[in-house]
Structure 1
């Protein structure tokens, strides 16, 4: 299958999921969003599940490419940027509809080993990205010595997943979660001297002197 065909079918899958959700989605719905025929879909994919497995792989590839480099001059700045990327709500209604559709797919994973395997890969990549940023911060002296990159990464992935679920289930914006995570990074993970050095807080002594 050519890259052009892959991109077309994956984009069509995205659009169809936004419109119909997972449960009601059909191959015809996807074909209707594509420049390709329904016959082409069935030529490359045996079923909706087969196509969605490929779609999850496609999303993972895009996520890995998009997050391979994170802007920021320091590891702490890059970790903040990464948090913002994950927890900033999209102004695009279709993006929120898509988030809901992906959660529907996730809900099928306890009963679908293929979905579960692909979602495990998402989880692994996300944890690895965060753990690497935290480890870089440790090496640069920006995080406290007792910080464990793997434990922090596992905790933050759990927070991100919970924020995503609440946004879809009860329409709770992840903005507040984002603020709490940023505060957690600065107030819990970072040693006091690093925070003072970077001007993130003002010392009690300075405040008392009126500085």
Structure 2
């Protein structure tokens, strides 16, 4: 049983059961392998979930690295577009709800908190790097990349959390906030004459890539 198969099983089990109720047997059931085989690789559920978070973040870093050669405006719109949940994204939303449950353990679990801190750093540094590149290439005005990135990530992460926790009544909330972030945060730092890619087109590209 490969590590990829194990991580895929964790992904599916989290979507199905959430974090709090998740068991090693649930993960084994998703992989059609025995629980004892999982314990051969990982002593506890915590060990497995920490490894899953590490794998998830490494995959995100690789996806972002593959886009390094694209224009900063395209990369920044894609970055914010990844926070959008549509009404059809129920499986993805359930997955992020499970991750939100895991985030609640951060104050009490050092190993999970380390992964959460890494996640926050990756998001902010990715946005800051894109903004810096845009400044250097003349498409963004001179702003503080780190502070602008921190505002952008806090806004988008807050929107995602709000939609997940409040459910169907806010099923288009992330889309609305992303549109406003592009207008109110990204728009003002664009140099004159520079335009952003169409959000719908970027979302469609992301759907094809998933």
- Give unmatched runs, 5+ long, in structure 2: 197-210
Rounded Cα–Cα distance in structure 2 between residues aligned with 1:188 and 1:198: 11
TM-score in terms of structure 2 length: 0.84
Is 1:139 matched up with 2:150? no
Q: Could you say if the C-alpha distance between residues 199 and 22 of structure 1 is closer, same or farther in structure 2, counting changes exceeding 3 Å?
A: closer
Which residue of structure 2 lines up, in the alignment, with residue 169 of structure 1?
A: 165
Bigger Rg, structure 1 or 2: 1
Alignment of 1:129-208 (within 5 A): 129-145=126-142, 147-171=143-167, 172=170, 173-191=173-191, 194=192, 197-198=193-194
By how many angstroms is 1:100 displaced? 0.5
Question: Counterparts of 2:18 and 2:165 in 1: how far apart (Å)?
Answer: 14
- TM-align CA RMSD: 1.9
Correspondence for 1:203: none
CA shift for structure 1 position 96:
1.1
Distance 1:21 1:199, change over 3 A: closer
TM-score by length of 1: 0.84
User: After superposition, where does 1:11-160 map in structure 2 within 5 Å?
Assistant: 11-70=8-67, 74-89=71-86, 91-145=88-142, 147-160=143-156
How far off is 1:157 after superposition? 1.4
Within 1, Cα distance between the matches of 2:84 and 2:138? 26
Post-superposition offset of 1:133 = 0.7
The answer to whether the Cα contact below 8 Å between 1:53 and 1:118 also exists between their aligned partners in 2 is: yes
* CA 1:28–1:152: 2 relative to 1, 3 Å: same
Deviations 1:51-92 (A, max 9, x none): 100010011111111122338853123211221123353734
Give me the whole-angstrom Cα distance separating, in 2, the residues matched to 1:91 and 1:184.
27
